[in-house]
Amino acid sequence: MIEEAIEIRTSDGNADGILFRAEGERRPGVIHLTDIGGIRPSHREMAKRLAEKGYTVLMPNVFYRTTKPPVIDVKIGMGDPKTMQRFGELRAPLAPEAVERDATAYVNFLTAHAATSAGKIGVVGYCFTGAFAMRTAAAMPGKVAAMASFHGGGLYTDEPTSPHLVLPRIKARLYFGHATNDRSMPQEAIEKFDRALAAWGGKYESEVYEGAFHGWTTSDAPVYNQPQADRAFQKLTELFAGTLK
């Protein structure tokens, strides 16, 4: 598996990132969006593992406006003042409109690449990029066939920019794996989100991973849950196997 540093021209600048591809092969494309910890060994391994299942995987640095990896130079820990300040710095430039502009650039880069086969692509987001994955599917409905989110936060809120409001623009098949007792996506929000998904009318699955807490898919997280992470990976590969050709 080739792990190649790449650069993507966006309307707001140049985004760095990594492309995982097989030499001399064209494979269906997938965009892997990291959690707020950014590109680092744990997510490199996740993206590589997915690529080894038969995909060309693009992992962009969604924080390119702010910094190159590593994006957080303090110990990740909710409540730590330095960490929370850094989270704010990373999030600040990522308004919904900026996310959709970036999404368009990422999708166009991946679909045009020589290592990507013709056809639609998939996208997966973790933590706060679960919403980014939704916005990617909404921004490029003609090119995104499948979208997944794991422990995605804030997918349903009362704000006018709530991610669930982009559902009418999405044509992809959707999968949502929610965490247990997630402050960023509590049970009430999950229930409202599920009702919004039902009203949307497309193909989707939404479930809570019992005993798996926010961040459970990532091996460097304090709450990493390997059995549930493996189950999440299986659901992800089943989604892509059934939609990407």
Active site residues: 127, 182, 214
Is residue 1 within 8 Å of residue 29, measured between CB atoms?
no
Q: How many CA atoms lie within 13 A of 210 on its CB side?
A: 0
Supply φ then ψ for residue 155, to 5 degrees: -75, -25
DSSP code at position 179: P
Among residues 117, 158, 161, 119, which one has the least CA distance to residue 138?
161
DSSP string, 77-126: -TT-HHHHHHHHHHHTT--HHHHHHHHHHHHHHHHHSTTB-SS-EEEEEE
How many angstroms separate the most distant Cα atoms in the chain? 48
Residue 237 CB partners (closer than 8 Å, separation 6+): 50, 53
Integer Cα distance of 228 and 51 in angstroms:
20
| Order of strands across the sheet that contains 144-150 | 2-10, 13-21, 56-60, 29-33, 121-126, 144-150, 173-178, 204-208
Among residues 207, 165, 200, which one has the least CA distance to residue 185?
207
Is residue 162 within 8 Å of residue 156, measured between CB atoms?
yes
